[in-house]
Chain A
Amino acid sequence: MSRKLSLAAVTFALTATTSLAATDITWWHGMAGRNGEVINEVAQKFNASQSACALTPVSKGTYEEALASGIAAFRAGEQPNILQVFDAGAATIINAKGAVIPAEDLITKAGYAFDRNAFIDGVRYFYADAEGKFVGMPFNSSAPIMYINDEALKKAGVEAPKTWEEFEAIAPKLKEAGYIPLVQSQLTWQFTENFFSRNNIQFATNNNGYDSVVDTKLKVTDPNLEMMFEKLKTWKDQGYFAFYGAGWNDNQKVFEEGKAALWIGSSGSFGGLQKTATMPFSATFLPYWGSIKGAGTNSFIGGAALFAMSGKSDEENKCVADFFQFLTSPEIQYFYHKSTGYVAITKAAYELAEKDGYYKEKPVAEVGIKQLLLPAGEWSKGYRLGFYPQIREIMEREYGRIFSGEATVKDALETIEKEGNELLARFAKTAG
């Protein structure tokens, strides 16, 4: 008890001294491991760069937990200044008018100029409103890319595939060479959402949900998506694809150990993979189908954005704007890009990394950003779907059923569409 008391006293003393000197702001995030450490480093850099504001980052667990804590805290009036929200949660927070101050308004109000065109194309649309105004500040941005076990491809004497047709052609050779040809880590993000973006196919009505929440419907019974999952199922049966469940790491592990030839991961996996991979690796774009007309467009931006929560004093908001400004500076972007593998979000930062020769040294680091910079198609800008974290859970369940043989691809996709549409209708009621 006395230990607790003295701890409280120390904390109080600490906060008392800092609050005399600076405005305290907090930042809740959902990052762990190396990526969590880098967040602390970014905060330290910000605190060292000026004296008016003191930023404290707090890890809230996973992305989902960070969003849930942020919502609970907001309802209790105890929200942090900055909340990190992942791609799938974007609709939840952006549709809650009044929960956040749009990043663009916050920054211009603090007296800074805001140039939307400074951001790379793939980043610009995802966390913005229908008029293109930035609501969230893109932060850790990633793209689903394909990592390559160089040894495996050499041994099999094949080249990395650009399309799924090419993969089908080399898969038997990879298997013969003693490798699992393909693994992936997130069927929702990599084989659903970004299946639609890379192949330029509509994901949901109402302009992928951007135009309105009312009557938005999923289009996951699309015959092309059905074909993709039929293929995955066949590949699994033939031993060309292995599936270890919905957990990200269970699937990544096989690649790290050098047992798999190709792994669909995130550009943000690069930082960690450099430490954990037991073999030399490279990376390339997420494959698309050559047979689909107009395919090969850029992918949706993944990862998360930072949102400035409302209900805070002007002083604190000014500090948040300062921090956003600091965060988008080329130097910090480059530092973050280098430390984590998440892509640089501004053109200036990308150029800085290029000029510095970073991509000559680490070509893998450029793959994600290059994929985001590919020509955009009509359906590759983003999606805005309410209760989407729950819809993803339905997808995970149904995809699991496909691979365990409990459901056919057709039935699974129909279930996702039916239950997903019910959730979208529910969300429309809450938002309306």
Chain B
Amino acid sequence: MRGTSGREGQQAPAKRVQFSSPFLPYLFLAPQLAIILVFFYWPSVQAVQSSFYLEDPFGFGSTFVGLTNYTDVLKSTEYLGIARFTAVFTALVTFFALATGLLLAVKADGVIRGNAADKTLLIWVYAIAPPVAGLIGMMFFNQHIGPMVELARWFGWDIKVGLDYSDTAFAMIVVSVWKQIPYNFIFFLSGLQGIPVSVREAATLDCRSELRRFWTVTLPLLAPTAFFLLIINTTYALFDTFGVIDVMVKDKAANNPITLVYKVYMDGFRGSDLGGSSAQSVILMLVVLVLTVFQFRFIERRVHYN
């Protein structure tokens, strides 16, 4: 809730604040700007630059090749397949992580309103470090000892993570969703608990159907939280699932599904093809840019912060 409540607080009074010197605000901004410049803009500029070159791994010579790196990548059926998987993967992970988080939060909200001990117990799962969560998730799907594999066998499904494309995809999605649920749960729960009791009571008087109350009253009031989580979850599925994938394919992607970010890593860091992987990362930057514009233009319009 921090992100959204911060926004609310800022809106009205921000314009009234006066700085004695016109440079002072820039001074305050300087540390943040410096970090962004050094860690975001500079590497981005370098990536754009090297995406037009073909370079030997050790950096002895590079040849300008124009758009060849881009056309090579976009012509590759392999790359397009990975892009397709990334899109499906991102959509599914985002949807299920949000839906499950919300469902759990709504159910928990009814039970633990105001009970701090219960709340802490439900939330502390989030404190598990992501790589540990990934490893635990992976153990569930281990082809020799995984309990999920055993479970699937009961239902006649011989799940083969690491061997079968769609089985691995399934496991990746489950683990990625599972890892993100606590995060979404916390935000949804505090969002729900932030809805004033008076509003809820008024709604209860007006409408008896709990489901309808949820759709017409609770959900719109949760919209700022949901929008914030949508962005966070999309970027999570696109980029932060790298660790899960790496644990899952154990360093050898073979015929298993991977996302675009993992492909950048494979070609750049493992394959030492800097030009090609730079081109791929520029493509990713563009994707994120488009996604951001889309989200803020079309979705944020429908979100009410007050």
Q: Give me the interface of A with B, judged by CB distance under 8 Å.
A: 62, 64, 67-68, 71, 74-75, 92-93, 95-99, 243-247, 250, 253-254, 387, 389-390, 393, 396-401, 403-404, 406, 419, 422-423, 426, 429-431
Taking the complex as formed, is B143 at the interface, i.e. its CB lies under 8 A from any CB of chain A? yes
Knowing that A62-B251, A247-B162 are A-B contacts, what are 5 other residue pairs whose CB atoms are under 8 Å apart, sorted by A's residue number?
A: A250-B144, A387-B273, A389-B271, A400-B163, A430-B62
Q: Are A389 and B162 in contact, with the CB atoms below 8 A?
A: no
- With a cutoff of 8 Å between Cβ atoms, the chain B residues found around residue A97 in the complex are 60
CB neighbours (8 Å) of B214 from chain A are: none
Known contacts being A92-B57, A396-B252, is A64 close to B270, with CB within 8 Å?
A: yes
Main SS at interface, chain A: helix
- Supposing A389-B271, A390-B273, A406-B165 touch, asked if A74 and B255 sit within 8 A by C-beta, the answer is no
Whether B250 and A430, one on each chain, are in contact in the complex, defined by CB atoms closer than 8 angstroms, is no
Known pairs A396-B254, A406-B255; A74 contacts B59 (CB<8 A): yes
A67 to B57, CA, bound (A): 10
A404 to B273, CA, bound (A): 29
B78 pairs with A419, CB closer than 8 A? yes
Residues 236-257 (chain B) with a chain A CB within 8 angstroms: 250-256
With A74-B59, A390-B273, A429-B54 in contact, do A404 and B253 touch (Cβ < 8 Å)? no
Which residue of chain A has the shortest Cβ distance to B62 in the bound complex? A430
- Shortest Cβ gap from B46 to chain A (Å): 12
Interface check B49, CB cutoff 8 A = no
Number of A-B contacts (CB under 8 A): 109
Cβ–Cβ contact B163 & A403, under 8 A: yes
Interface residues of B in 144-201 (CB under 8 A from A): 144, 160, 162-165
Q: Find B250's partner among A99, A243, A247, A387 (CB 8 Å cutoff).
A: A247
13 contacts between A and B (CB under 8 A): A64-B270, A68-B269, A92-B57, A96-B57, A245-B162, A245-B254, A247-B252, A253-B144, A389-B272, A390-B271, A397-B253, A404-B255, A430-B54
Chain B residues in 8 Å Cβ range of A397: 253-255
Residues of B within 8 A of A95 (CB): 56
Asked if B298 CB lies within 8 Å of chain A CBs, one says no
A23 to B144, CA, bound (A): 48
Ranked 10 nearest A-B pairs via Cβ:
A400-B255, A390-B271, A246-B254, A245-B162, A246-B252, A396-B254, A96-B58, A400-B254, A430-B56, A99-B58
A429-B63, A430-B54 known; A92-B272 Cβ under 8 A = yes
Q: Knowing A246-B254, A250-B162, say if A387 contacts B271 (CB, 8 Å).
A: yes
Q: Smallest Cβ distance from B169 to chain A, in angstroms?
A: 12
Distance, CA A389 to CA B250, complexed state (A): 16
User: Which residue on chain B has the smallest CB distance to residue A64?
Assistant: B270
Residues in A whose Cβ lies below 8 Å from that of B165: 404, 406
B59 contact from A75, A246, A399, A431, Cβ within 8 A: A75
**A426 x B56 contact (CB < 8 A):** no
Residues of B at under 8 Å CB distance from A? 54-63, 65, 72, 78, 143-144, 160, 162-165, 250-256, 266-267, 269-273, 275-276
A75 to B56, CA, bound (A): 11
B67 to chain A, nearest CB (A): 15
Contact partners of A431 in chain B: CB under 8 A:
56
B258 and chain A: residue at smallest CB distance: A397
Flag if A245 contacts B63 (CB, 8 Å): no
Tell me whether A71 and B272 are in contact (CB under 8 A).
yes
A393 in contact with B271 given A99-B58, A430-B55, A430-B57 (CB within 8 Å): yes
Q: How far, in angstroms, from A422 to B71 measured CA to CA in the complex?
A: 13
Q: Are A401 and B266 in contact (CB under 8 A)?
A: no
Best-buried of B58, B65, B163, B275 by chain A (most CB within 10 Å): B58
Contact among A75, A244, A389, A399 with B58 in the assembled complex (CB-CB below 8 Å): A75
Residue contact B271 to A404, C-beta cutoff 8 Å = no
Q: Which residues of chain A come closer than 8 Å to B57, judged between CB atoms? A: 71, 92, 96, 430
Q: Which residues of B contact A67 (CB under 8 A)?
A: 272
Q: How far is the CB of B262 from chain A (nearest CB, A)?
A: 11
Q: How far is the CB of A392 from chain B (nearest CB, A)?
A: 9
- Let me know if A98 and B162 touch, CB within 8 A: no
* A-chain residues with CB within 8 Å of residue B256 when the two chains form the complex: 400
Assuming the contacts A75-B58, A75-B59, A430-B55, asked whether A396 and B272 have C-beta atoms less than 8 A apart, the reply is no
Q: Least Cβ distance of B22 to chain A in Å? A: 36
**Chain B residues, Cβ within 8 Å of A430:** 54-57, 61-63, 275
- Residues in chain B near residue A244, CB distance under 8 A: 143, 162-163
A64 to B59, CA, bound (A): 18
Residues of B within 8 A of A423 (CB): 273
**A57–B48 CA distance with the chains assembled, in angstroms:** 36
Chain A residues within 8 Å of B78, by CB: 419
Bound-complex Cα distance A108 to B247 (A): 45
Chain A residues closer than 8 Å to B269, beta-carbon distance: 68
User: From residue A348, how far is it (CB to closest CB) to chain B in Å?
Assistant: 34
Give chain A residues whose Cβ lies under 8 Å from the Cβ of B144. 250, 253-254
| A390 lies within 8 A of B267 (CB) | yes
Task: Check A96 against B54 for contact (C-beta < 8 Å).
Answer: no
Complex CA–CA separation, A426 to B56 (angstroms)? 10
The answer to whether B163 touches A245 (Cβ under 8 A) is yes
Q: How many Å from the CB of A223 to the closest CB on chain B? A: 24
Give bound CA distance, A431 to B275, whole Å. Answer: 13
**Of listed A68, A253, A254, residue having the most chain B CB within 10 A:** A68
Q: How far is the CB of A68 from chain B (nearest CB, A)?
A: 5
Bound together, the chains give a CA A419 to CA B73 distance in angstroms of: 12
Residues of A near B143 (CB, < 8 A) are 244-245, 250
Cα distance A403–B163 when bound, in Å?
8
Residues of B contacting A401 with CB < 8 Å?
A: 255
Q: Which of B162, B164, B250, B252 has the most CB of A within 10 A?
A: B252
Report if A96-B60 is in contact (Cβ < 8 Å); known contacts: A245-B143, A390-B270, A404-B164.
yes
Nearest CB of chain B from residue A419's CB, rounded to whole Å = 7
A97 vs B59: C-alpha distance when bound (angstroms): 11
Q: Which of B58, B162, B270, B273 contacts A426 (CB 8 A)?
A: B273
> How far, in Å, is B164 (CB) from chain A's closest CB?
5
Q: Which residues of A contact B270 (CB under 8 A)?
A: 64, 68, 389-390, 393
- Residue of B whose beta carbon sits closest to that of A187: B254
Contact (Cβ within 8 A) A404 B163: yes
Give A120 Cβ to nearest chain B Cβ, in Å: 30
> B55 to chain A: which residues have CB within 8 Å?
430
Q: What distance in Å separates the Cβ of B126 from its nearest Cβ neighbour in chain A?
A: 26
Closest Cβ of chain B: how far from A309's Cβ, in Å? 10
Q: Which of A74, A253, A430 has the most CB of B within 10 A?
A: A430
Residue on A with the closest CB to B76?
A419
Closest beta carbon of chain B to A136's beta carbon, Å? 15
* CB-defined contacts of A247 to chain B, threshold 8 Å: 162, 250-252
